[in-house]
Structure 1
Amino acid sequence: MKTNLPPSPASPTYPLTIDNGLGEQLTFLGVQPEPDGDRLLVENTVAPGLGPLMHTHWLQDESLTVVRGRLAYQVLGQPTQYAGPGDTVLFARGTPHRFWNAGPDPLHCHGWIKPAHTIVFFLSAIYQAQRKSGRLQPEAFDAAYLLTRYAREYDLPELPRLVRQVVIPTTYLAGKLLGKYRKFAGAPAPVAA
């Protein structure tokens, strides 16, 4: 099932494919219940040169295994590393990281995120906001809402201080006053850290 709308927060139907319209596609394959938190199985396809911004999952581990292509990845403050077919990269919770397609052909990976928490909703909403803006930077009101509501779960550590302390809070407040967030009614509650 492919959609451009955030999935129902209560219970998404798997598989669920999201696409940011810029060359990144992510499929949530399903959830494996485990005693220490659900493991969300994923696969992605990323166009050459593209990948998510430097980001942090405060409460989740993320693993990617390259199926096809060349994955470049970086942990904040460290040099770029590379992975090829069969290689697995693990980003521990709380570790600021980014990855991108460093090859000439589409990058295809399988992986997981654990525990799942709000990630399906959050990433679906981010991809939709990117489609809306037509750029890797999501539409401003949606980004302000998501980064404010889920600040204890996700972060973009390379945002300038002025953006963090002034632009995002101001945009969030303006969006709230303008009724921009009605579409997020029923959004999952943030996870307590």
Structure 2
Amino acid sequence: MDRYLLESAASAGRVALVEHVLGPRMLAAPMHRHGREDEYSFVLAGTLGVIEEGIEVTAGPGDLVAKPRGRWHTFWNAGEDELRVLEIIVPGGIEALFRRLAEPGGEYSPETLPALAAEYGAEVDFDATMPLVERHGLIV
């Protein structure tokens, strides 16, 4: 579930703020990278797992994790409690993709998601995602 606190349209495209809420062991997205935005994840509650350019870290409340543009990354709830993360996106824009994915009927498959992601300057890598899902027993 996402809560859109500030969308890029309200900041002349400069920034977007989105709160992501994930249940235990839930994967947020397949491994991906975007060429336009930097993302910063500020952990509000729970345990955040992140893999960024092959390096895996966990973060807790009060921690900030950077995911620079052009670098492969994903994140998930690495704990047994609800995860709440404030996603700071600079410049804004990719949050529109999050909205599209959350629309009713917005279920995308490995066959259809790459084309949609490309509309927002992003790429996805399902082959790199599955070992992570299996290693951590994640819900997709």
The TM-score with structure 2 as length reference comes to: 0.76
Q: Is the 8 A contact 2:30 2:125 kept in 1?
A: no
Match of 2:102 among 124, 127, 145: 127
Instruction: Report 1:1-193 matches (<5 A).
Output: 25-31=1-7, 33=11, 37-50=13-26, 51-78=28-55, 80-117=56-93, 119-128=94-103, 133=107, 138-139=108-109, 142-143=112-113, 145-150=115-120, 153-159=121-127
Q: Which has the higher contact order (CA 8 A, sep 6+)?
A: 2
Question: Partners in 2 of 1:101 and 1:69 — Cα distance?
Answer: 8
Q: Is the 8 A contact 1:126 1:143 kept in 2?
A: no
Question: Partners in 1 of 2:86 and 2:119 — Cα distance?
Answer: 28
Q: Is the 8 A contact 2:22 2:82 kept in 1?
A: yes
Deviation at 1:142, TM superposition (A): 4.9
Deviation at 1:43, TM superposition (A): 0.8
Gaps of 5+ in 2: 129-140
Deviation at 1:147, TM superposition (A): 3.5
Gaps of 5+ in 1: 1-24, 161-193
RMSD: 2.5
Q: Is the 8 A contact 1:62 1:92 kept in 2?
A: yes
Q: Post-superposition, which runs of at least 4 consecutive aligned residues in structure 1 deviate over 6 A? A: none
Bigger proportion of residues as strand:
2
- Percent identity over the alignment is 29
Task: Output one character per residue of 1:96-141: Cα deviation in whole Å (capped at 9) or x when no partner.
Answer: 1011001101101113111113x23212222337x554xxxx2467
Structure 2 SS opposite 1:55: strand
Per the alignment, do residues 145 and 112 of structure 1 end up closer, same or farther by CA in structure 2, a change over 3 Å counting?
Answer: same
Question: Partners in 2 of 1:26 and 1:91 — Cα distance?
Answer: 18
Aligned AA for 1:102?
A: A
